[in-house]
Amino acid sequence: MSAVQGAHSSSIGIFLRVKPVTRPSLGLSVNDTDHQIHFNLPRALSLGPVNNQRENYQFSFNGVLTADAKQEEVFERVARNVVLGTLEGFNGTIFAYGQTGSGKTFTVTGGPERYADRGIIPRSISVVFDEIAKRAEFNFLVHVSYLEIYNEVGYDLLDPDRDVRSLEDLPRVHVMEDDDGAAHMRNLSSHRAASEEDALNLLFLGDTNRTISETPLNQASSRSHCIFTVTIESRRPGEPMVRRSKLNLVDLAGSERVSRTGIDGGILKEARYINLSLHYLEQVIIALQERSTGGARGHVPYRNSTMTMVLRDSLGGNCRTVMIANITAQHEMLDESISTCRFAQRVALVANQASDAACCMVTINEDIDPDVVIKRLKVENRELKDELRMLRGEGEDRGPLTADEIERVTTQARSYVEDPSPEATLSFGGSMLFINAAFRALKQAARGNLLVAAKGQSLGPPIPGSQALPKGPPAVAAPQEIQQLTEQIRQRDSEIAILVGLVKKAQAAGFIPSSPATSAASRPAPGLPAANLVASPSTGSPPAAGPAPASSGPGRQSGSIRKSVSMPVQSRQPGLAASQSSSLAATGLGSLPSQEVLADRSRAFEAFRISYSGNPVIDANKAQLKAKYDEAKMHGQQVNASKLSIEKLKGQIDRHRTYRSLADITKGPIDADQELEPDEKEMRLHGEVEQAKGRYKEAFARLRTLKSEIEHLHRLLEHNRQARHPVTSSFVGLRGRAQQAPTTGRTGSSGKHGEPLGG
Ligand SMILES: Nc1ncnc2c1ncn2[C@@H]1O[C@H](COP(=O)(O)OP(=O)(O)OP(=O)(O)O)[C@@H](O)[C@H]1O
């Protein structure tokens, strides 16, 4: 017998994710093509919450992620659209539901070991900032908050000022409801994240607080809910309309129920939730499901628990919501997996927003920003006052026009005269000062024309403050002038070639990392032979091949190098080496000895290296920096190893407690609210967890210190280079860019949420 339940007309998307196990149950088969999962239970296993007579169960989802699905696929199929929606102003929620150990945290946050294991949160952060970079026409503001709810109490995971040792050290958050029933978190901090790295650092801080604050008895990761929220605000510059949206990424507590069997073994009841608030979540879902399917249920019991209040907008509200049902393919867990699938089917029947919402009725959250409107009205007000004053013929309370203003008026008047279009206008607002200056400029133009007509007879001196308007076609530069300029350009190219050579040498010597910018810079501009970039510095003569100077080509890289190198301008005459040498000497490089040395780039660089007085200091700093990096790597490995061992131990504790709960049940009726006291084995495991945490904290604290020491050393190095050697600041600029490239990409993701990886 089988039961098929549909999931396709819902506005809450449901996805199934199956966690890989070494020996998957034969009673479970997943079909990714029709998005279904089948359970086939032998009668003997039909215990616990599983229905008494049925052996086959079948559930449909919007998508099924099999055990071999990678984190990237999960993000693309489940999360990307929701995340993109938040950039358009739609609220979004993604929540993971499933029993303890089924892979919720792995799915939402990610695994601690490999970069590829990053979960939905760090990937969403990347997408948010990538998309922001693409939308230059908008101004964005991103804020992050991280809330943990344990035993109905909310805790702020992002308080940077506290030394967190237990959950109680975290600031408490209170959920308040306004008149419209919307939930507001009092005391939950919200942090500005200006970049992906900022947001990843906040995630890392929250996860660290989450790990450290667990106490042996609360088992917080399994029994608490965590909600990472990204708030996005966007507007076009100067426009009053502002869009605000929220992305909630939710890792729910373990959903397992302790089940019990009636005396006759036939009647099965759900007896006890490990977490009561999930029971209330189910109540809310049932009420919403009844309401969505036209049932009589009017009241939705959101207020019964903190978590349902927080998620109120995501369930039956104005939000694009997706649920991930995490199950494990382990045979012993099939009853819990069926229970998770069944819950997902209920969720799939909930329609968000209005009752007529068969499809997504979620609305964009747009508001008028009163600040912008006020600013605009003030400007309008000022303009109107000016106009009024002009119409009344009142004087302007300012002095005469400045030379720049007169120049601007004259230029505008000239463009006006030159514009053949009958629609051309000349406007200076209400200012009589400007209008008069424009008249003077026009008069001058008219007199100029008369002058031409009168064959060169002047009508008098030009009007002070105005410029003669052009009387003919623009002057063509003299051939000598062109030649002189071409010569200057060639000399510049030679200077650049020398500096590019120096940069390469500096890279080879480990001064600066090689960057695409420098290597691209050393390539010739398109259409130019390579010889163009390595012209002989001793003569400053043009390169043998390639008649066009580098600057005339469209090579953008060459142009950018030119900008970043601050060479003195005097070297307009032949004899580059002399001017080059003096300019270098002026910057602390010492003088480059001769044209002969300069002709050989390796010798020139060596001369530069030796003459550079700051060298030993830099070398010492570099050695120190390397030592710090080595140490950081070691502590990074320690942090990861401790984290892994904490997770393993927690898994053991969970399993041990589950066995004990089941053993209790077989002995007779149990009190649903009574906590299991830890036994000897559990206490021992908790002790080991505490030790691992100690190691984790110690290594993490050292890492933190090292981070600031490393940053400090980097600053010192940059300072040394820039202060002593302004010319090489262009190298530093290149180096800075080369360093930034990876940071803006994935710095924070070198491990789980940016924590360092051992490797
Ligand atoms: N898809 C997966 N691939 C590889 N490892 C996984 C996968 N899913 C989970 N794991 C591993 O299984 C273990 C338990 O997973 P996880 O902590 O994510 O479970 P959970 O459902 O969040 O448990 P809890 O309710 O206790 O928080 C972790 O070591 C995790 O790295």
Query: Relative to the CA of 219, which ligand 1 atom is closest?
Result: 26
Taking a C-beta distance cutoff of 8 angstroms, is the pair 372, 240 a contact?
yes
- Range with the poorest average pLDDT among 43-57, 546-560, 586-600: 546-560
CA distances from 282 to 101, 505, 680 (A): 20, 67, 35
Q: Which of 16, 22, 105, 256 maximizes ligand 1 atoms within 8 Å of its Cβ, making it the mutation to test the pocket?
A: 105
CA gap 625, 710 in Å, rounded = 6
The finding on whether 221 has its CB within 6 A of some atom of ligand 1 is yes
Q: Whose CA is nearest to atom 13 of ligand 1?
A: 101
pLDDT at 435: 83
DSSP state of 83: H
3-class SS string, 447-477: HHHHHHHCCCCCCCCCCCCCCCCCCCCCCCC
pLDDT band at 580 (very low <50, low <70, confident <90, very high): very low
The rounded mean pLDDT for the chain is 71
**Binding residue positions:** 98-105
Q: What is the residue range of 502's domain?
A: 484-579
Query: Relative to the CA of 111, which ligand 1 atom is closest?
Result: 31
The finding on whether 145 has its CB within 6 A of some atom of ligand 1 is no
420-440 pLDDT, tens digit each? 777 777 877 667 778 888 888
Q: Whose CA is nearest to atom 1 of ligand 1?
A: 19
Among candidate residues 342, 330, 325, 334, the one with its CA nearest the CA of residue 40: 334
CA gap 525, 531 in Å, rounded = 11
- Token pair 């908008």: residue: 138
CB hemisphere CA count around 306 (13 angstroms): 21
* pTM of the full structure: 0.53
Residue 246 backbone dihedrals phi, psi, to 5 degrees: -130, 140
pLDDT band at 197 (very low <50, low <70, confident <90, very high): very high
Query: What is the Å distance from ligand 1's center to 108 Cα?
Result: 10
Is 70 exceeded by the pLDDT of residue 548?
Answer: no
Is 50 exceeded by the pLDDT of residue 79?
Answer: yes
pLDDT band at 97 (very low <50, low <70, confident <90, very high): very high
- Range with the poorest average pLDDT among 30-39, 215-224, 274-283, 629-638: 215-224
Mean pLDDT of 680-687: 89
Report if residue 497 sits inside a domain: yes
Query: What is the Å distance from ligand 1's center to 219 Cα?
Result: 15
Residue 322 backbone dihedrals phi, psi, to 5 degrees: -130, 135
535 versus 492: the higher-pLDDT residue is: 492
Query: What is the Å distance from ligand 1's center to 102 Cα?
Result: 6
Mean pLDDT of 584-592: 41
Q: What angle do CA 105, 111, 113 make, to 5 degrees?
A: 160
757 versus 296: the higher-pLDDT residue is: 296
Is 50 exceeded by the pLDDT of residue 754?
Answer: no
| CATH at residue 86 | 3.40.850.10
189 lies in the same domain as 105: yes
- Token pair 């990053």: residue: 118
The secondary structure of 605-628 as a DSSP string is: HHHHHHH-TTHHHHHHHHHHHHHH
345-376 pLDDT, tens digit each? 988 888 766 333 334 455 667 776 667 667 77
Q: Whose CA is nearest to atom 16 of ligand 1?
A: 103
393 lies in the same domain as 502: no
401-419 pLDDT, tens digit each? 888 888 888 888 888 888 8
532 lies in the same domain as 634: no
User: Number of helices (H) and strands (E), helices first, in the chain?
Assistant: 21, 18
712 lies in the same domain as 658: yes
pLDDT at 659: 78
**How far is Cα of residue 274 from the mean position of the Cα atoms in its chain?**
36
170 lies in the same domain as 268: yes
3-class SS string, 107-150: HHCECCCCHHHECHHHHHHHHHHHHHHHCCCCEEEEEEEEEEEE
User: Hey, is 434 helix, strand or coil?
Assistant: helix
Taking a C-beta distance cutoff of 8 angstroms, is the pair 326, 97 a contact?
yes
683 lies in the same domain as 628: yes
The one-letter amino acid at 35: H
Q: Whose CA is nearest to atom 26 of ligand 1?
A: 222
Q: Which of 17, 18, 19 maximizes ligand 1 atoms within 8 Å of its Cβ, making it the mutation to test the pocket?
A: 19
Taking a C-beta distance cutoff of 8 angstroms, is the pair 620, 560 a contact?
no
Query: What is the Å distance from ligand 1's center to 32 Cα?
Result: 21
pLDDT at 172: 93
- Range with the poorest average pLDDT among 286-300, 397-411, 605-619: 605-619
Mean pLDDT of 568-584: 38
User: Hey, is 712 helix, strand or coil?
Assistant: helix
Domains in the chain: how many in total? 4
Q: What does the longest C-alpha to C-alpha distance in the chain come to?
A: 124
660 lies in the same domain as 552: no
Query: What is the Å distance from ligand 1's center to 73 Cα?
Result: 17
Report if residue 319 sits inside a domain: yes
Is 70 exceeded by the pLDDT of residue 472?
Answer: no
DSSP H helices, 534-574, are 556-564
The secondary structure of 139-199 as a DSSP string is: EEEEEEEEEEEETTEEEETT-TTS--SSGGGSPEEEEEE-TTS-EEEET---EE--SHHHH
Report if residue 351 sits inside a domain: no
686-740 pLDDT, tens digit each? 899 889 888 888 888 888 778 767 877 776 676 565 545 443 333 333 333 333 3
Taking a C-beta distance cutoff of 8 angstroms, is the pair 229, 295 a contact?
no
pLDDT at 483: 66
Adjacent-strand bridge partners of 318? none
**Total residues belonging to the chain:** 759
CA gap 365, 88 in Å, rounded = 9
CA gap 674, 272 in Å, rounded = 10
323 lies in the same domain as 382: no
CA gap 532, 526 in Å, rounded = 11
Mean pLDDT of 639-653: 86
253 lies in the same domain as 388: no
pLDDT band at 126 (very low <50, low <70, confident <90, very high): very high
Report if residue 50 sits inside a domain: no
Report if residue 566 sits inside a domain: yes
327 versus 633: the higher-pLDDT residue is: 327
416 lies in the same domain as 531: no
153 lies in the same domain as 282: yes
Query: Relative to the CA of 112, which ligand 1 atom is closest?
Result: 31
Query: What is the Å distance from ligand 1's center to 103 Cα?
Result: 3
Mean pLDDT of 473-481: 49
Taking a C-beta distance cutoff of 8 angstroms, is the pair 27, 45 a contact?
yes
DSSP state of 631: H
Report if residue 697 sits inside a domain: yes
160-175 pLDDT, tens digit each? 776 767 777 889 999 8
Query: What is the Å distance from ligand 1's center to 448 Cα?
Result: 85
109-124 pLDDT, tens digit each? 998 778 899 999 999 9
Report if residue 52 sits inside a domain: no
How crowded is residue 709: how many other Cβ atoms within 10 Å of its Cβ?
15
494 lies in the same domain as 410: no
CA distances from 124 to 75, 193, 254, 360, 399 (A): 8, 14, 23, 21, 56
Report if residue 20 sits inside a domain: no
Is 50 exceeded by the pLDDT of residue 581?
Answer: no
